[in-house]
Structure 1
Amino acid sequence: MSAADLPASSAEHPPTRMLHGLRPLSAWLLRRRWPVRVHGAEHLPARGGAILAANHVGAIDGPLLAIFAPRPVHALTKQEMFSGRLGGFLRGAGQVPLDRFHPDPAAIRSCLRVVRDGGVVGIFPEGTRGAGRLDRFHHGAAYLALVTGAPVVPVTMIGTRPPGGGSNALPPRGEPIDLVLGEAWRTAQQPWPRTREHVAATSVLLRGHMLSEQDGALSRTRRSLPGPLPAGQSEDDPDTGLVEHPREL
């Protein structure tokens, strides 16, 4: 599929200079504290637009995805992070602000521009940090896949929060961190209009694929997820997408 086959986007491509330039140094610095291991890099196409969809368990998931993914990633990041110096840095590093509580056409246009230009978008379908088992699954990744037809590569983040640790807890120094990329999932590009029912059904299929790949990642690494956040530490999150009661881990 060529860029000519994708819907037009009026957004400018997010900045790339810092995103590309800082990755080697950032990776070196982080690996001085934690052994970061990337598995399944071959599942992300070497070129062309793509979507990385990751579970979300710890505070460092976003930076790790942007720094250690096989290709630079423009990750959707909650707009609350885009204030002060950190906000300037995130924008300069090509990350995309997202309003989680209201429809955000600007974020969609930015993601579409990235995919049209052959780049990689990163999405955390759970929306907020938690157990990482996709018990809440927002529709953004499925919607973008329907709009673009781009492959969605699942990512399982393992070891980014200690077992039972709080929302901002970091893993102990020297504790390994695994990023496991699974087999790409695809759906046919769907021209406008896209019904809510179609998007929801696509989310069900994508979530099922991600859970299957996550089970495989945990089995291969012989590791487990950290479990739910302590009581009272879950962030507010819009009541949208697919929701299941948390399962026993």
Structure 2
Amino acid sequence: MSASPIAGTPRTDLPRTDDVPHPTRWPLNHLDGPSRWLIRRRFDVRLHETENIPKTGPVVFASNHIGIIDGPLLAIFTPRPVHALTKMEMFEHWFLGPFLRWAGQIPLYRFGSDPAAVKTALRVLRAGGAMGIYPEGSRGAGDLVRFNRGAAYFALASGAPVVPVTMLGSRDPGGGVSSLPHKGARIDIVYGEPFHVERVGWPRTREQVGHVSGLLQKHMQVQQDHALALTGRDLPGPLPIEENND
């Protein structure tokens, strides 16, 4: 445990997380094989450039967000167990909520600050684990034009590399916010080159986080262009205009 900072000196440690329970790990460590087998009975899931994933140490997986199954795909198929920040509304479902908690995912309140979610994610990183985040905030075109600062914050706070993830095929063109791709659909998951930034101790200014977030956004867009060229795929386009995905 780090000592308390001396008054008047800058604090360089992470926010305290020793009192925060680590999300469940057992299902992610032991059920990925059967889960992959089940999903591949319906979809043709292909992984690309997994050599870009650090084998050990903390890592942030930052993914575009086009379909409702992006979260399960990220958690189940990524070679390392991923504890993804998942919108709180998903945990309110009578079955899905307990399942997500059992599967080690992290509930996130998206419309304001959520210290509990931040501490839990940092707890994962401090333990040398992997967390997942969707910088776009909600499902949509997946083109990374909308880009929140959370991924940059976790990179700055922990020093963990950010691995861009491009999901392709997890929603059919014209498909709605909750639609599944057609049976037999090819789904490509491309892991881009890691983005590295030096860890910055507390306090981190809004300007610092904003600057790094802008650099990360550009990096992820370049990696997404590479993923599109590599797979010969296109993004599915925007959601139908009548759909509202808060």
Bucket of the pairwise TM-score, normalised by the shorter protein: over 0.9
Match of 2:9 in 1: none
Alignment of 1:147-226 (within 5 A): 147-226=157-236
CA deviation map 1:139-196 (0-9, x unaligned): 1100000000100000000000001111112111111100000000011101011111
1:37 aligns with 46
Matched to 2:105, the amino acid is: Q
How much is the aligned-residue C-alpha RMSD, in angstroms?
Answer: 1.4
Q: Which residue of 1 aligns with 2:129?
A: 119
- CA distance in 2: counterparts of 1:54 and 1:20, whole angstroms: 21
Tell which structure's C-alpha radius of gyration is larger. Answer: 2
Large movers: runs of 4+ above 6 Å: none
Structure 2 residue corresponding to 1:133, chosen from 143, 150, 160: 143
What's the CA shift for 1:234?
2.8
Equivalence map 1:2-151=2 (5 Å):
7=14, 8-9=16-17, 10-83=19-92, 84-151=94-161
What SS does structure 2 have at the residue aligned with 1:206? Answer: helix
| TM-superposed deviation, 1:18 | 1.6
Contact kept in structure 2, 1:129 and 1:234, CA below 8 Å = no
Contact between 2:13 and 2:202, CA under 8 Å: does it hold in 1?
Answer: no
Q: Is the 8 A contact 1:159 1:178 kept in 2?
A: yes
Residue type of the alignment partner of 2:224: Q
Percentage identity across aligned positions?
Answer: 56
List alignment gaps of at least 5 residues for structure 2.
Answer: 4-11
TM normalised by structure 2 equals 0.92
Give, in whole Å, the separation in 2 of the partners of 1:128 and 1:109.
21
Q: CA deviation at 1:6?
A: 5.5
Give secondary structure in 2 for the equivalent of 1:179.
strand
What is the count of residue pairs matched by the alignment?
234
Unaligned runs of 5+ in 1: 237-249
Q: CA deviation at 1:233?
A: 0.9
Which shows bigger deviation, 138-147 or 4-13? Answer: 4-13
